[in-house]
Structure 1
Amino acid sequence: MSKLLRPARLAATTVAGAASIASAVAAYRSRPRVEPIADAYRIGVNDAVPPQSITVPAKEHMHGPATRATMRRLGLTVAASQIAGLGLLALPNRPRLNALGAGLIGPGLGHLYAKRPIEALVAAASLPVSVSLFFATGNNVAPPLAWIGTALHASRRVEAGRVSTAAPLVASALIAGTYAVERRRRQKVLADQIEDAKGVNTYLSSVELPLRGKNLPEVTAAEELSAAELAMARRLVDVALQDPNDWSNYELIDQFRESAVRYTMTSSLRALQAMQYSRMPAFRGYLSEGQRQLIRKHQQPLVWKYWMWENLWGNLSTNPDPLIRQNIMLGGWLATPIGAYERITGDLQFSEPGALNFVVDSRRSYAYSFTSMLEALADQFETSPFGLVACEPNWVYTLCNTFGATGAYLHSKVHGSDLWDRIGPRYLQGFETEFVTPTGVNRNYLSVRTGFSGPLAAGSIDSLYQRAFAPHLADRAWALTRGAFYQDKDDRWRMMFSEKGSFDAGNYARTAAYGVGLLGGAMREAGDEHLAKAAFETLQENYEVYIDDRGWLTVDGVSSFAHGELGHAMMLRKANWLNLMTKGMPDHWRNGPLLEAVPYPDVMVGRAVSNDGKGLEMVLHPGGAGGRFEVDLGQLVPGSSYKVVGAADAAITAREDGTARLAVDVRGRTEIHVVPA
């Protein structure tokens, strides 16, 4: 009987080999391609953005063309391996090759063929473990190594006369059935999403859009900082001014995922910039110095050397350059605060060649500027089939790319560069085609090697920055995010709260503060002040919020990253980022008098603004016991006299360089006006 079956088994192996080769060739040809940019996405930084509906456009597929091509390539690649495995399993009188083939069908099946069930369990478990590494760190080597490695191991564990072909064959049938079931499931999910989109669009078409016409405020300084906001400012500034290699007050859990210090630093940067633009555009001092310190701190090896490992196991590359390829989770997140710093202060030092230098050792270092950092990103945007760039090997995150695109927008506004033209259209087209689902919510991340994506979210934090160049995306996200709020029986606005479903990205704890910061900030930017307050009330009702003995606003059990996002939401005011990005600093702010420096921490600034480009208004607070101090003014008219109200000096005369020093008594809230005499 075995002699009769031998030709059939050899024929099966031949057919399987041919089918495997055909599947591999088809996989190679299924590579995603870079699509041409549609004219609708070619919007310059100084162009009026054409009005677009925030309703969700009809989609025929669950995924965009690049994602579908990637999933097709993955399916064909796996099929090639499994068909080859079936061919090897069919070979007569070749038990080791049979075991190898069974292992190629699926991890653990080779060991089942060899009748080693315990080893089969271990081999099968290696796949989810390796996939977890793949998801968590971009380790692209782990899954194929686990799959092929266990198959090779099984081929060495076969004993003559002790094999079982049944288990691998049954498993193969189950795998084939799983493919068919999954295909039908996806078709049903798409049909359900298309149906759900009708209800979503009914809601979206009824929403009154924010920040339009008379509802878009002019660029003005808001009210002075409250006591809680001053305490949050104290916290953010104290940490920002720590020594470059001082990592106290940071969570040092890992540098690969959300708790990495780079995210904590950039959240603090955005908080400081929101405070400067909305409350004290005429103040530099410790506020600008803290920003410079945090930007420079990104050069510390702790911040960026994780990339050496990720690039090694994800791209099989030993190049430690942290910005030349992928890693927009460093360059993108940093681009937005550098751009905002330049937009607010006019200080372009980070655009100078070599302003940022990443030193590997005595022989190797990588010097960048804000400009060259974005140019490296632009090269990748222009060649990405997904429109967006990978944060780490394999994984594209929408938020990292939103920050990269925002940085390019700000650079083009400040420098008149073409970086937005190179990055923006690719980002916009990729975001809409690959990352927006048929129901209008966004995929937070996507695997460029598998097409897998998730989780789904409205995109509230993206909306803060997208409104300048893609208001329809921002307003759709804002409208969907409002679903997190409701009115109770007393018509009081509340935020939905569940600690079980909460997540603090900075310490991986189940606390809601991080989410409160994101939602509160999105609502405040859009002008929904009542919803922002509801978010903060949720925080106060469920957590201990207090000012500690350092003068810091503190939420117990909450990470520094979450404190940064809370600070950002607290400092924001209506249209903060929209006005900063599109309008920047009005002439009377840019050219008017400045409060250049105060003796921090003895004196803190609650508000500083020049409303007419001639005078200066400021509110100062003691950082400690209070007393008489000297503060420095700048951008005064050289040689001109000024009248002072509220200070120890009643009058000052500007030096020839437009500076002056003013004596002030700060023993409580101190309001000072400086006006031309």
Structure 2
Amino acid sequence: MPDEISLFPIPDSACGPLTSAKQSRFLIGYAMLSLIGFALILMPGEAPQTFGLGLLFPGLGFLPAITGQGDTMALMLLLAGLLAFGLSLVIWFATGNVILPCATWLGLALLAMWTAPAAGSENVLWLPPVLLTGLLCHQTFQTWRLPRKRRALNQALRAYQPDTAPPTPQADALTDADLAALRLLLDRALQPVETFNGFDQLDQFQTAALRYQLNFTSYALSAVQAAHLPAFAGYMAEAQSKLKAKQADPRVWRYWKLENSWGNLDRNGDPFARDNIMYSGFVAAQLLYHQKAVGYPLDEDALRMTCISDRDVRYSYTIHEIIETLVAQYARASYGLLPCEPNWVFPLCNAITATAIRAYDAAYGTAHWQTIAPAFRQHLEAEFIDTNGRFLPFRSSYTGFAPPAIGGAVLQSFPCLFFNAVFPDIARRQWAALQIARAGRDWRAVIWPVDVGNYRFTRAAGYAATAAAAGEMGDASAARALQDHLARDLPLCLANGIAHRPGASIWAHANEMLARVLRRDSLRHLVTAPLPPQTPYLASAPYPDVLVANARWQDGGLALSLVPTAPGSEVTLTVAGLAPRTRCRLCAPEPAELLSDASGEVTFSVTLTERTSLTLTPAKPVGLSTKEAAQ
């Protein structure tokens, strides 16, 4: 990663050109609605006047009775109406239901028309112009403030000194603590496909949804394999297969038919077809991270998603078709980024999806990301980074408006983990901007006190996700500090060799596993490197009798590190990927000479009393010349 940190561009306005156009279109629409409202107010009769007021602003039709007559019931209706409209906006954000806010606004106007007199209406006509004037003043102030703020940020970036502490060295094998943490994820992944015991099952629309727990558990397993177990299939491959199969369970993805219906007015239940990268893009990353983390071949089914609805409607996509669908959607995306769900465009969701497309290019020699990246970068910089240099959490593709940068440090740190694989300069700059904004404060002060994986009031998810990002960005001091905070706030409990943090979500545990194994540019290398060469690999090892702490092909042999859960037990292992009828030398506490069978597999048993390292080194295949064996 280059030492120089890129600077923020200094645009001419507070919003990018597309955002300005969408906001202008929305305000023109509101102005037209207001004109209709004023026209109704000028008509004789209390019904049209009150209804017209209700069109100006949700609940405004109740004000005449309050200001003119002091009507307590009207006041209660106004407060209830404002609460209902606010709730409809929350549901719109949470589920993509664009119909509900419109219906609530109209319903309040109709209710006011039926219940409130028109007397006193002239006392509240000032409200819409004041709101519009306030909005315009805010935008004008932001436009005036932006270049000054950006210049100050750039000056701070020039002076910023990145962390130079040496990272914790990557161990040759998973430690006992790593294995205990990994077992929590494995036990959930390896259960029957139809079973979700141990997962957080709260809702399927927001951050605690099952799909995210499955995604990030898989991402963590892939990161573990890339770092320590590239030559091990066995229970790791079975876990990945079951996580993929769980993603195809209708309970995980059928939310989309509802969201698509009330968000896009489209009854199509296909979770890959439109505006749903929180499923399609994340699943693509799940499949490709796994493929690129291992040195053994995956069969065609491992790279295909087949979702069958409760009514037996089938949606089947290979990884090639998923990527082609995503690329076509990006080509049509006005923002250069895709909605994660109807209307809402999240930089984080797009960062994860971008890594999937970039990983596919590296695996298959395509250049999809090269065609997408320019517009993606342009709009990311112009439309999704605020005046203070922070990632916006999301923006409305319908209205152009966005909330302030809420959610604490994790919404600024976590996107860096994924953007580092596609825009490393932006990731490095945003990480530096986060550290500058933190201004030396303790991490506990800037991490949001809610675990987004289970909505409990702990900082587990924030600590773990930010620690994972810190590891990827090479900020060793931050990574260690965040992991220390996590250990203090939510101490590990160890039961039957499985480590867990009571109160922490599965999403937080998965990110903690990422934090354990990620080092500078780990994910970037996984995404951008070509497919690893295929080598002989450990095909099976009984779980949980033996835990594989290391499995890699090095120096012409398969190096393994095995940890028994019951010392003194004998375990049977199978190695595959060898040439047929190959003599192999097993270097172990009990050395042996072995011969692979006609399919290139060899099975042997070892007795493990403690953590044991062994190496299987093949010689030339029996009956072949040295030249043929080399080939």
Q: TM over 0.5, yes or no? A: yes
Pairwise mapping of residues 265-664 of structure 1 onto structure 2 (< 5 A)?
265-345=214-294, 347-349=297-299, 355-456=304-405, 459-483=412-436, 495-498=442-445, 501-549=448-496, 551-584=497-530, 586=532, 590-612=533-555, 614-664=556-606
C-alpha distance in 2 between matches for 1:665 and 1:585: 35
Residue 630 of structure 1 aligns to a residue whose secondary structure is strand
Conservation of the 8 A alpha-carbon contact between 1:504 and 1:559: yes
Conservation of the 8 A alpha-carbon contact between 1:344 and 1:584: no
Conservation of the 8 A alpha-carbon contact between 2:142 and 2:387: no
Q: 1:500 to 1:59 in 2, by over 3 A?
A: closer
The alignment's C-alpha RMSD in Å is: 2.8
What is the deviation of 1:216?
Answer: 12
* Paired amino acid for 2:96: G
Residue 70 of structure 1 aligns to a residue whose secondary structure is helix
C-alpha distance in 1 between matches for 2:513 and 2:592: 36
Conservation of the 8 A alpha-carbon contact between 2:47 and 2:118: no
What is the deviation of 1:500?
Answer: 8.3
Conservation of the 8 A alpha-carbon contact between 1:401 and 1:427: no
Conservation of the 8 A alpha-carbon contact between 1:378 and 1:423: yes
- Give the % identical residues: 30
Conservation of the 8 A alpha-carbon contact between 1:543 and 1:555: yes
State the match for 1:80 in structure 2: 32
Q: Which runs of 5+ in 2 are unaligned?
A: 620-631
Conservation of the 8 A alpha-carbon contact between 2:467 and 2:515: yes
State the match for 1:148 in structure 2: 106
State the match for 1:15 in structure 2: none
Q: 1:121 to 1:523 in 2, by over 3 A?
A: closer
Q: 1:520 to 1:123 in 2, by over 3 A?
A: closer
Conservation of the 8 A alpha-carbon contact between 2:272 and 2:280: yes
Q: 1:352 to 1:661 in 2, by over 3 A?
A: closer
C-alpha distance in 2 between matches for 1:381 and 1:537: 40
Residue 661 of structure 1 aligns to a residue whose secondary structure is strand
What is the deviation of 1:495?
Answer: 4.7
C-alpha distance in 1 between matches for 2:141 and 2:298: 54
C-alpha distance in 1 between matches for 2:499 and 2:302: 36
State the match for 2:625 in structure 1: none
C-alpha distance in 1 between matches for 2:8 and 2:490: 37
Q: Deviations over 1:587-633 (max 9, x none)?
A: xxx23331221111111111111123x21211100133541111111
Residue 575 of structure 2 aligns to a residue whose secondary structure is strand
C-alpha distance in 2 between matches for 1:350 and 1:97: 64
Residue 591 of structure 1 aligns to a residue whose secondary structure is coil
Q: 1:274 to 1:455 in 2, by over 3 A?
A: farther
State the match for 2:54 in structure 1: 103
What is the deviation of 1:649?
Answer: 4.5
State the match for 2:629 in structure 1: none
C-alpha distance in 1 between matches for 2:187 and 2:534: 29
Conservation of the 8 A alpha-carbon contact between 1:336 and 1:407: yes
Pairwise mapping of residues 99-248 of structure 1 onto structure 2 (< 5 A)?
99-113=50-64, 117=74, 118-157=76-115, 163-164=118-119, 166=120, 168-207=121-160, 222-248=171-197
Q: Deviations over 1:538-589 (max 9, x none)?
A: 111222212223x221112111111111111112233211221222455xxx
What is the deviation of 1:376?
Answer: 2.1
State the match for 1:32 in structure 2: none
* Paired amino acid for 1:147: W
Conservation of the 8 A alpha-carbon contact between 1:111 and 1:119: yes
C-alpha distance in 1 between matches for 2:198 and 2:59: 46
Give the number of aligned pairs: 606
Q: TM-score, with normalisation over the residues of structure 2?
A: 0.89
Conservation of the 8 A alpha-carbon contact between 2:170 and 2:517: no
What is the deviation of 1:239?
Answer: 0.9
Residue 479 of structure 1 aligns to a residue whose secondary structure is helix
Conservation of the 8 A alpha-carbon contact between 1:485 and 1:531: no
* Paired amino acid for 2:521: A
Conservation of the 8 A alpha-carbon contact between 2:438 and 2:446: no
What is the deviation of 1:140?
Answer: 0.4
C-alpha distance in 2 between matches for 1:415 and 1:351: 17
Q: TM-score, with normalisation over the residues of structure 1?
A: 0.84
